[in-house]
Amino acid sequence: MSTYLPTLKQLQYLVALEEHGHFGKAADACFVTQSTLSAGIRELESLLGLMLVERTRRVVRFTPLGLKMTTKAHRILREAEELAEMARSAGKPLADDLRMSVIPTIAPFLLPKLLPALRKQYPDLKLYLREEASAAAVEALHHGVVDCVLLALPFAAGDIEKAKLFDDRLFVAFPKDDPRDPPDSISPDLIDESKLLLLVDGHCLKDHALAACNRPELRASATMLGTSLHTLVQMVDNGLGVTLIPEMAVDAGLLNGTDVQARPLNADHATREIALIWRTNSPRREEFEMLAAALRALRKN
């Protein structure tokens, strides 16, 4: 009796559907049409003789067996990726496809300066970027969706290896003339908890800012509305409060065109560590270390 073996493509479709909970979004993530993804999963179910997904107009619901298969599929796809990584690592380093997630509080401020120089240094490198919040980026890493992540630490990233790039100081951003004569640096006790504006949950910068201030009442009283640093700065510019932003954003001109002022936060651990992380024991470890060294050197130029 022959046993049907699912293809990697079918497993990719199944995993994408479980992650996104929507056929259209899963198809977009797999770069195929919705009908192609749906047909692939139906073919898998037909050949297995089992239902994996319950379909309704509003909800995609996995059967218990479907969920078990998805968990196993994650592992199989990751091991298949590692096989491909082993083959790539045997050739010329940084001369192939590399998928990297970058968090939104780094990507727009660091990459425009570094990517052109990196492309010149490694012309054969095909770097595919995903911009997503820290939790989503780490999940994508462990599911094999991306190869590495440009992240700000500390952050609970699981079983990973890292290469530190640099420390990024935190600054307090406040409206013009509030205070009228600002000091050279601002201590956490000067921050009015009722006026502190932070990014919404899912962004590690929010946790870095609260940890640096080390004032429990800030966590309870801060307003978490911003979906991006640009949004927070506009709110501050309109006198709605104060916020904390990274030095790289200040250097990149985030405050240009506004009346917002910024001063360094005067506190212990008032920095975040910018690092490149990847899965432990990855066959491409040497490549990632080379990439981190290149990014570190290019930033200094």
Provide the pLDDT for residue 1: 39
CATH number of the domain within which 262 lies = 3.40.190.10
Whether the predicted model's global pTM rises above the 0.75 cut: no
Residue 19 lies in a domain: yes
Going from the first residue of the chain to its last (301 residues), give the mean pLDDT of each consecutive group of 10, the final group possibly shorter.
76 91 88 91 90 84 91 88 69 81 94 91 90 91 91 93 96 83 86 85 84 78 77 92 94 94 92 95 89 89 70
> Which residue, among 215, 237, 213, 217, has the nearest Cα to 226 in the 3D structure?
237
CB-CB contact of 41 with 17 (8 Å): yes
Provide the pLDDT for residue 37: 92
Residue 3 lies in a domain: no
The domain in which residue 264 lies consists of 167-271
Residue 1 lies in a domain: no
Provide the pLDDT for residue 106: 95
Phi then psi dihedrals of residue 110, to 5 deg: -105, -40
Same domain for 141 and 189?
A: no
Calpha distance 155→164 (Å, rounded) = 13
Same domain for 218 and 250?
A: yes
Residue 43 CB neighbour total at 10 angstroms: 14
Same domain for 171 and 247?
A: yes
Eight-state DSSP code of residue 213: H
* 164 DSSP β-pair partners: 275
Q: What's the structural domain count of the chain?
A: 3
Residue 65 CB neighbour total at 10 angstroms: 12
DSSP secondary structure letters along 64-101: HHHHHHHHHHHHHHHHHHHHHHHHHHTSSTT-SEEEEE
Residue 133 lies in a domain: yes
> Which residue, among 172, 180, 130, 182, has the nearest Cα to 151 in the 3D structure?
130
Provide the pLDDT for residue 56: 77
Calpha distance 289→287 (Å, rounded) = 5
Provide the pLDDT for residue 220: 65
CB-CB contact of 139 with 15 (8 Å): no
Same domain for 161 and 172?
A: no
* 98 DSSP β-pair partners: 127
Q: Which tokens sit at 79?
A: 């091991």
Same domain for 71 and 128?
A: no
Q: Which tokens sit at 197?
A: 């504006």
CB-CB contact of 93 with 123 (8 Å): no
